[in-house]
């Protein structure tokens, strides 16, 4: 059977290679095979059921593996490798996403990188959909006219070329044979699942997944607050540490007597909030210093940085200047409520997140001018 692996909600504009995988831009009627060619007609047909804005998607991303064409039959092992690749591609995409960008540009979530492996044959005009059940599975056959997959509303519409952090993706692919790969991969799975934006996964579950992902990344198997705080604070270390006593009241810091930095205070607060939610409490009895939404935002921002630091410690990654700036910026982002109302939602600088970023850019430019002169 012929098969096609594709990402229906992801748009790229150029071919990209990563280990044994190639990302291939799809444009309906034109690419990659060329206008009017039999192969392009096949690709257009396979992707025709996938709709956005009331019409079949015009752009998507196809995945080709080394040594084969786009539509060859794939073994179970190859399909498994493709799904692993999609998880690594997701964390690389989330690492490069823009938060609080103008008009939401540059934003994406885990489901933006959803992988489909579609089997098809030339003589069958329809689709067999197999879904799992608690007591097994069921298969339903749908005709070509009946089968449509609408882009979920929580997935942002792709606009132009999607930024991907290939400097992170490539070492992750190389790391698959390492002895601690299982811990890294399981941490990535938890992080990705905490970043779907889907209403099917509550923010309470996302908090459990995100803290668990950090624990797995730092290999803290015993579920102890001190273990996670120790590893996190020692790894994600900015150039200048902010003392909690200089920015929080004594009543706030009283709960965190062991914390010598704001990041240590934050991870302990997140851990305690997660603990309440993980034990089946719909409403946490723990009064956090950061709201749940702020915790999820900040945790989702810092996880890719913590992952890069972990890879750097294993000598397979080198932090970039952008990475170092983001690490230095993290504690400053902890000082703000990023979901407080703003006067003008269309003003970039109205958002605390962007003000902290702008101040970091100004400091960097100031240093450059000083060094130049």
- Sequence ranges of the domains in the chain: 2-150, 180-340
- 0.95 exceeded by the pTM? no
**Can you tell me whether residue 6 is helix, strand or coil?**
strand
- The pLDDT assigned to 322 comes to 95
What is the pLDDT at residue 46?
A: 93
Q: How many CB atoms lie within 10 A of CB 75?
A: 8
Is 74:5 a contact under the CB 8 Å cutoff? yes
- Rounded distance between C-alpha atoms, residue 297 and residue 94, angstroms: 12
Tokens (6 digits) for 355: 């003000």
Residue 37 CB neighbours (<10 A): 12
Give me the sheet containing 116-120, strands edge to edge: 16-18, 21-27, 59-65, 2-7, 116-120
Average pLDDT over residues 97-109: 93
**Cβ atoms within 10 Å of 253's Cβ, excluding its own:** 18
User: Does the pLDDT of residue 370 top 50, yes or no?
Assistant: no
Strands (E) located in the chain: 2-7, 16-18, 21-27, 50-52, 55-56, 59-65, 116-120, 126-133, 136-143, 149-150
The model's confidence at residue 39, banded by pLDDT at 50, 70 and 90, is very high
pLDDT of 124 reads: 54
Radius of gyration of the chain (CA): 23
Position 199 pLDDT exceeds 90: yes
Model pLDDT, residue 68: 80
| CA separation for the pair 58, 30 (Å, rounded) | 10
Give the lowest-confidence range in 122-131, 209-218, 280-289.
122-131
- Alpha-carbon gap, residue 180 to 100, rounded angstroms: 34
The C-alpha angle 182, 187, 191, rounded to 5 degrees, equals: 150
pLDDT of amino acid 149: 95
Can you point out the beta strands (E) in 103-234? 116-120, 126-133, 136-143, 149-150
Quick one: pLDDT band at residue 368, thresholds 50, 70, 90? very low
Q: What is the pLDDT of residue 363?
A: 79
Alpha-carbon dihedral of residues 51, 153, 7, 4, nearest 10 degrees? -40
CA angle 190, 196, 199 (to 5 degrees): 120
Question: Would you say residue 132 has pLDDT above 60?
Answer: yes
- Summary mean pLDDT of the chain: 92
For residue 55, how many other CB atoms are within 10 A of its CB? 9
- Residue range 203-231: average pLDDT? 96
More confident residue, 286 or 49: 49
- Higher-pLDDT residue of 68 and 313 is 313
């Amino acid at each position: 059977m012929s098969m096609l692996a594709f990402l229906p909600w992801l748009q790229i504009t150029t071919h990209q290679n990563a280990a044994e995988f190639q990302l291939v831009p799809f444009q309906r009627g034109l690419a990659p095979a060329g206008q009017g060619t039999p192969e392009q007609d096949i690709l257009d047909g396979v992707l025709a059921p996938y709709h956005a804005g009331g019409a079949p998607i015009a752009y998507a991303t196809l995945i080709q593996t080394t040594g084969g064409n786009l539509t060859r039959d794939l073994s179970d092992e190859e399909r498994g490798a493709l799904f692993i690749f999609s998880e690594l591609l997701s964390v690389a995409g989330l690492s490069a996403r823009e938060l609080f960008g103008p008009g939401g540009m540059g934003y994406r979530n885990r489901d933006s990188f959803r992988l489909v492996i579609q089997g098809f044959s030339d003589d069958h005009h329809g689709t067999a959909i197999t879904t799992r059940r608690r007591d097994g599975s069921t298969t339903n056959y749908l005709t070509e006219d009946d089968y449509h997959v609408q882009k979920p509303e929580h997935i942002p519409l792709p606009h132009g070329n999607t930024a991907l952090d290939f400097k992170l993706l490539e070492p992750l692919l190389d790391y698959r044979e390492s002895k601690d790969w299982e811990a890294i991969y399981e941490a990535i799975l938890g992080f990705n699942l905490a970043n779907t934006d889907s209403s099917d996964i509550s923010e309470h579950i996302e908090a459990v997944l995100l803290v668990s992902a950090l624990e797995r990344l730092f290999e803290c198997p015993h579920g102890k607050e001190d273990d996670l705080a120790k590893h996190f604070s020692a790894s994600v270390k900015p150039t200048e540490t902010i003392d909690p006593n200089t920015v929080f009241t004594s009543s706030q810091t009283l709960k965190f007597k062991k914390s010598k930095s704001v990041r240590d205070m934050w991870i302990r607060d997140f851990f305690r909030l997660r603990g309440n939610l993980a034990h089946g409490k719909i409403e946490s009895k723990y009064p956090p210093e950061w709201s749940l939404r702020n915790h999820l935002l900040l945790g989702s921002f810092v996880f890719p940085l913590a992952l890069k630091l972990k890879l750097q410690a294993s000598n397979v990654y080198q932090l970039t200047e952008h990475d170092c700036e983001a690490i230095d910026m993290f504690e400053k982002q902890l000082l703000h409520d990023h979901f407080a109302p703003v006067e003008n939602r269309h003003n970039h600088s109205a958002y605390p997140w962007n003000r902290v970023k702008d101040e970091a850019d100004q400091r960097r430019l100031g240093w450059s001018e000083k060094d130049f002169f």
